[in-house]
């Protein structure tokens, strides 16, 4: 009887130690870069100023889509905005904006001042839906193709180098 | 110079430790009833040299000797003396040295305080304890040497993380270490008792004082850590179920279980194996906690630098420790026989153990599950307060109830004691008064309030009764009263807390509920090692038209460059007002978080009461001897 218990307890302990051993080699820094190559999550986002919802499945209707998370209170968003406006002129690309934890009047003021690069504008006032895309701060930008596959993911404001990279991909 | 001296002293400690192992092993075979005098001498030199090593490191910190990597990485010349000293154990290597000092201290104390015990029992305990000491000394010397040299010698150090420059945090590690490293001694005692076949009563009497001491320090250590998190981290809570907090709580559950089951073992033989298992588990869980914290496999506020080789060493040591103690247990454990009835004190004390083991399991799963899931499936999740609150809270009800009634039962007897008494009557009336003043709350919360009120009133009655009969066991009464108060205060704290966060500029005024918050002014100033932005706020309570001024700060430290958010807390007897502010980059807007935290003082005080119970139990025991 004792022997049986001993074997069971030893086996469990060995398993636990083995897993802990494996976990030592793992990278503990949280990143969402491993989402690249995967399909974008299917999420319903409310439109910014009209009733109804935008389903991320609809992205398959466009050749390339840039999903951009922004807010009027976010300094770095202000910095990257001119690049978004520049990219919006490219006909191969639709830019879908997700207005993140923002107040409507501030967001509208922001767009009036800085220009509106978004073909489709949605909102996530509580920041809960953005979690599905692995967003943990803004701005973040995700480039998706018509198979709903994530091609690129930019954490933080995009810059001129990123714009070139995006243009290279969508103009192929 | 200090580097060489420190390393030499540590090597001598290791040599002395191995000598003690060797001498103890040979003394086992010798005739005679006393432990050889030589061992006492070696143990004395062991503690002197180990302590000397620790003093050397402290001196290096005090004189800012940056030829030591450890001092260079964690200190700075402009740091106040107090934090230079506490910086010694504010990092992995230094705290490992403190850890070894406590192992040695407990080994030495055990040896000199148990002169009349069975010789082989003492020798085996020394052997196990010194095996632990030598393993940690080897770890220190080969992997985590606090005395490692740095050349060329820098003129200035990198500084101590400013959030660690806090009086509460200076004493938090030593307290906690005496708690969970102290549990090593009953780990060793338990294994030694098995091998040398010590009877239940002497086992109980031998480990009881060590359990009380380590439990008391563990409780105090957790309390101080919790107070620090409340004041320094600016999250406005006292417990976050952070994996590292959990690592200190898990051994605490086991120590609490042990503290109770030892009482049974002292009188009856039924729990011999169980007490042994608990003793082994407590220290094992302490090392598991150390592994989780030091290996960097968990993300938490306790940021010890991530180093897999360190983790591997602790993990190998842990595996060796676990496998050999399981083996020893199965080889030597006797068969237990139970001889007590259901409604006896024994059963209630055992019930405590079941609860503690359940709590332990819940916290252990919550802490390890994300690690396992990530390793096995690559999925990243985090387990937070909702899990713990949901699972643990309902079980507080039966626990509180048993804590109220259990101690009233007699040993071995089988009569159930009536639950309808004056204490219950009074607590129901008190509860109704509280209930009427609460606007909305869950049924569970209300029941917890009722049961904790019952525990509080019943312990007060017990105190009165015992006081009359002059047969008073204050330790249990104070600890249980403290626990009742703790749960009671936490419940009211949860119900009455107010929290509001908003953005504001200077001159803004916010109104909500009964409060008006005015952002009056902003001032910047420089201090020796940081620059600060201080906000001046006035908080007006419109209900009783009182106002208080709060001044949260944002500090930018220069060595190392770190921003900290200093909460401004106004503590009143019944309630704390808590304000933090953080800047929003590229704007003149600040994010303000206002919190009203009732009964915080009561929460701290209750935990203090709980630990005072431990001290009293220790003193009572000393008097008996």
- Check CB contact under 8 Å for B295 and A28: no
The answer to whether residue B606 is domain-embedded is no
Q: Is residue B404 within 8 Å of B350, Cβ to Cβ? A: no
Structural domain that includes position A47: 28-170
Q: How far is CA A85 from the centre of its chain?
A: 19
Q: How many domains does chain A have?
A: 1
Based on the fold, state whether residues B241 and B114 are members of the same structural domain.
Answer: no
Token digits for B131? 């095996």
What is the extent of the structural domain holding B507?
498-601
Cis amide leading into B110 (omega within 30): no
Is residue A157 annotated as a catalytic residue, yes or no?
no
Question: A-chain residues within 8 Å CB-CB of B273?
Answer: none
Is B312 in contact with A24 (Cβ distance < 8 A)?
yes
Give ipTM to 2 decimals: 0.79
For the stretch B215-251, pLDDT in tens is 999 999 999 989 988 887 766 678 888 888 899 999 9
Q: Are residues B142 and B88 in the same domain?
A: yes
Same domain, B73 and B206: no
Spatial distance between the Cα atoms of B619 and A131, rounded to a whole number of angstroms:
54
Q: Are residues B19 and B71 in the same domain?
A: yes
* Rounded percentage of chain B residues whose pLDDT exceeds 70: 92
Candidates A24, A33, A102, A157: best to mutate against B (most CBs of B within 10 A) is: A24
- A23 to chain B: which residues are within 8 Å by CB? 297, 371-372, 374-375
The interface residues of chain A toward chain B in range 57-116, judged by CB-CB distance below 8 A, are 73, 75-76, 78
In the structure, what pLDDT confidence band is assigned to residue B533 with cuts at 50, 70 and 90? confident
Of A2, A17, A26, Cβ closest to residue B315:
A17
Is B624 part of any domain? no
- In a domain? residue A95: yes
- Residue A46 has phi, psi (to 5 degrees) of -70, 140
- Please indicate if any CB of chain B lies within 8 Å of the CB of A25: yes
Q: Tokens for B378, please give them.
A: 């690559």
B607 in a structural domain? no
B83/A66 Cα distance (integer angstroms): 51
Which of A20, A102, A110, A131 is the best residue to mutate to test the B interface, defined by the most B CB atoms within 10 Å of its own CB? Answer: A20
Residues B394 and B446 in one domain: no
Q: Where are the alpha helices (DSSP H) in B144-199?
A: 167-195
Domain check: are B11 and B119 in the same one? yes
How many Cα atoms occupy the beta-carbon half-sphere of B377 within 13 Å?
A: 7
Q: Do B351 and B455 fall within a single domain?
A: no
Instruction: Kindly state whether residue A6 falls inside one of the protein's structural domains.
Output: no
- Count other C-beta atoms under 10 Å from residue B535's C-beta: 23
A26 has a chain B CB within 8 A of its CB: yes
Same domain for B384 and B411?
Answer: no
Q: Is the pLDDT of residue B418 over 70?
A: no
Cβ within 8 Å, pair A21-B308: no
The closest CB to that of B315, out of A5, A20, A30, belongs to A20
The CA distance from A76 to the nearest CA of chain B, in Å, is: 9
Residue B89's CB is within 10 A of a number of other CB atoms, namely 27
> Could you tell me if B386 and B410 lie in one domain?
no
Q: What is the mean pLDDT of chain B?
A: 86
CB neighbours of residue B473 within 10 Å: 15
Q: pLDDT at residue B159 above 80? A: no
B32 with B177, same domain?
A: no
Count other C-beta atoms under 10 Å from residue B59's C-beta: 15
Residues A126 and A149: their CA atoms lie apart, in Å, by 26
Last residue of a domain, one of B468, B496, B524: B496
User: pLDDT by residue (tens digit) across B163-218?
Assistant: 777 888 889 989 999 999 999 999 999 999 999 998 888 898 899 999 999 999 99
Q: Are residues B191 and B148 in the same domain?
A: no
Parallel/antiparallel/unpaired status of strands B575-583 and A140-145: unpaired
Among candidate residues B283, B430, B413, B445, the one with its CA nearest the CA of residue B348: B413
pLDDT in tens, B17-36: 999 999 999 999 888 888 88
- Which of B106, B136, B162 is the last residue in one of the domains? B162
Among residues A40, A43, A74, A143, the one annotated as catalytic is A74
- Closest residue in chain B to residue A79, using alpha carbons only: B586
- Catalytic member of A77, A138, A144, A166: A77
A77 an active-site residue?
A: yes
Say which CATH number the domain at A104 has.
Answer: 3.40.30.10
* Residue where one domain finishes, among candidates B133, B162, B191: B162
The H or E element that residue B311 is part of is helix B308-332
Q: For residue B477, tell me if it sits in a domain.
A: yes
Residues B309 and B342 in one domain: yes
């Amino acid at each position: 009887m004792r022997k049986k218990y001993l074997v069971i307890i030893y086996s469990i302990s060995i398993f636990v130690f083995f897993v802990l051993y494996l976990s030592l080699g793992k990278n503990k820094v949280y990143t969402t870069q491993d989402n690249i190559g995967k399909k974008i999550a299917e999420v319903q986002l409310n439109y910014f100023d009209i009733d109804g919802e935008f389903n991320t499945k609809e992205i398959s209707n466009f050749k390339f889509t840039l999903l951009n998370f922004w807010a009027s209170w976010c300094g770095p968003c202000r910095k990257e905005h001119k690049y978004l406006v520049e990219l919006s002129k490219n006909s191969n690309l639709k830019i879908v904006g997700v207005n993140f934890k923002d107040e409507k009047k501030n967001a509208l003021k922001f767009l009036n001042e800085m220009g509106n690069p978004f073909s489709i504008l949605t909102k996530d006032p509580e920041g809960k839906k953005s979690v599905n895309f692995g967003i943990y701060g803004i701005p973040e930008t995700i480039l998706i193709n018509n198979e709903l596959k994530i091609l690129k993911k930019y954490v933080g404001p995009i810059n001129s180098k990123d714009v070139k990279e995006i243009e290279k991909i969508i103009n192929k | 110079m200090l580097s060489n001296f420190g390393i030499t002293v540590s090597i001598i400690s290791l040599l002395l430790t191995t000598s003690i192992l060797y001498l103890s092993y040979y003394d086992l075979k010798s005739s005679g009833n006393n432990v050889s005098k030589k061992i006492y001498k070696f143990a004395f030199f062991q503690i002197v040299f180990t302590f000397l090593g620790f003093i050397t490191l402290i001196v290096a910190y005090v004189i800012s000797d940056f030829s030591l990597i450890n001092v260079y990485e964690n200190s700075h010349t402009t740091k106040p003396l107090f934090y230079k000293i506490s910086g010694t154990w504010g990092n992995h290597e230094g705290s490992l040295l403190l850890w070894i000092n406590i192992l040695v201290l407990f080994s030495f104390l055990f040896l000199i305080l148990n002169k009349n015990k069975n010789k082989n029992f003492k020798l085996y305990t020394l052997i196990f304890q010194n095996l632990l000491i030598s393993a940690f000394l080897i770890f220190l010397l080969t992997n985590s040497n606090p005395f490692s040299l740095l050349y060329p010698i820098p003129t200035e150090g990198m500084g101590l993380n400013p959030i660690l420059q806090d009086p509460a945090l200076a004493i938090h590690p030593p307290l906690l270490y005496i708690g969970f490293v102290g549990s090593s001694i009953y780990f060793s005692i338990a294994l030694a008792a098995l091998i040398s076949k010590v009877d239940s009563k002497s086992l109980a009497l031998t480990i009881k004082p060590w359990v009380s001491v380590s439990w008391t320090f563990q409780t105090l250590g957790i309390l101080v850590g919790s107070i620090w998190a409340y004041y320094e981290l600016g999250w406005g809570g006292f417990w976050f179920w952070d994996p590292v907090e959990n690592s200190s709580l898990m051994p605490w559950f086991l120590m609490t279980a042990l503290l109770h089951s030892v009482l049974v073992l002292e009188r009856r033989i039924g729990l011999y194996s169980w007490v042994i298992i608990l003793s082994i588990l407590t220290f094992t869980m302490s090392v598991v906690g150390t592994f989780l914290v030091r290996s960097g496999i968990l993300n938490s506020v306790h940021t010890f630098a991530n180093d897999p080789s360190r983790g591997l060493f602790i993990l190998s040591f842990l595996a060796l420790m676990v496998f050999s103690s399981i083996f020893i247990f199965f080889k030597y454990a006797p068969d237990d026989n139970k001889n007590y009835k259901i409604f006896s004190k024994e059963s209630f004390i055992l019930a405590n153990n079941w609860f503690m083991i359940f709590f332990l399991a819940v916290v252990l799963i919550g802490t390890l599950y994300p690690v396992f899931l990530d390793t096995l499936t690559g999925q990243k999740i985090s387990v937070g307060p909702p899990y713990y609150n949901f699972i643990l809270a309902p079980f507080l009800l039966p626990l509180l109830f048993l804590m109220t009634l259990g101690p009233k039962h007699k040993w071995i007897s089988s009569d159930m004691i009536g639950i309808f008494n004056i204490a219950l009557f009074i607590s129901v009336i008190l509860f109704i008064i509280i209930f009427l003043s609460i606007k909305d709350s869950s049924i569970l919360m209300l029941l917890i309030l009722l049961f904790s009120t019952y525990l509080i009133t019943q312990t007060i009655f017990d105190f009165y009764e015992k006081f009359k009969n002059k047969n008073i066991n204050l330790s249990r009464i104070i600890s249980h009263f403290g626990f009742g108060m703790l749960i009671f205060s936490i419940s009211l704290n949860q119900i009455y807390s107010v929290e509001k966060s908003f953005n504001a500029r200077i001159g803004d005024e916010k109104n909500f509920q009964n409060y008006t918050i005015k952002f009056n002014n902003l001032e910047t100033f420089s201090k020796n090692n940081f620059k600060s932005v201080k906000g001046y706020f006035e908080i007006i309570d419109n209900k009783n038209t009182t106002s208080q001024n709060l001044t949260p700060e944002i500090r930018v430290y220069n060595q190392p460059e770190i921003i900290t958010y200093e909460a401004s807390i106004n503590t009143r007897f019944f309630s704390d007002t808590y304000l933090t502010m953080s800047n929003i980059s590229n704007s003149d807007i600040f994010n303000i978080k206002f919190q009203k935290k009732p009964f915080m003082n009561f929460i701290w005080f209750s935990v203090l009461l709980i630990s005072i119970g431990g001290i009293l139990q220790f003193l009572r025991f000393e008097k008996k001897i």
